[in-house]
Amino acid sequence: MARRLGATDDEIAALARGDAANFPAEWQSAFATAEEMTRDGGRISADTYGALARSWSEPQIVEIVAVICAFNYFNRFANALQIPPTK
């Protein structure tokens, strides 16, 4: 999906390694939010929210968080039912 939306192989590989250093600050804040929400049961710190708020509007933040929640749900659902990932 990322390739279809314009991501390069290098960008995809960097994210697979957990390396967002070469992405713009706004994307780094979104990636950090996804990581923190996934790791901490959906919670994010005030600092993480602040980083989002510096780069994204409130409606954009709602959309970012909704997408993170949806993917966390789908991943947990698939893991519980042992459904393999698709390409």
Q: Which residue has the tokens 């600092």?
A: 47
Report which of 64, 59, 61, 1 is spatially closest to residue 34, judged by C-alpha positions. Answer: 64
- The pTM of the full predicted model, rounded to 2 decimals, is 0.82
Give the pLDDT band of residue 57 (cuts 50, 70, 90).
very high
Per-residue confidence (pLDDT) for residue 40, from 0 to 100:
86
Domain segments of the chain as ranges: 25-80
| pLDDT tens column, 11-54 | 999 988 989 888 999 999 999 999 999 998 889 999 999 999 99
Predicted pLDDT of residue 87:
63
| Residue 86: pLDDT over 80 | no
What b/e sequence results for 47-83 when a residue is b if at least 16 CB atoms lie within 10 Å of its CB, and e otherwise? ebeebbeeebeeeebeebbeebeeeeeeeeeeeeeee
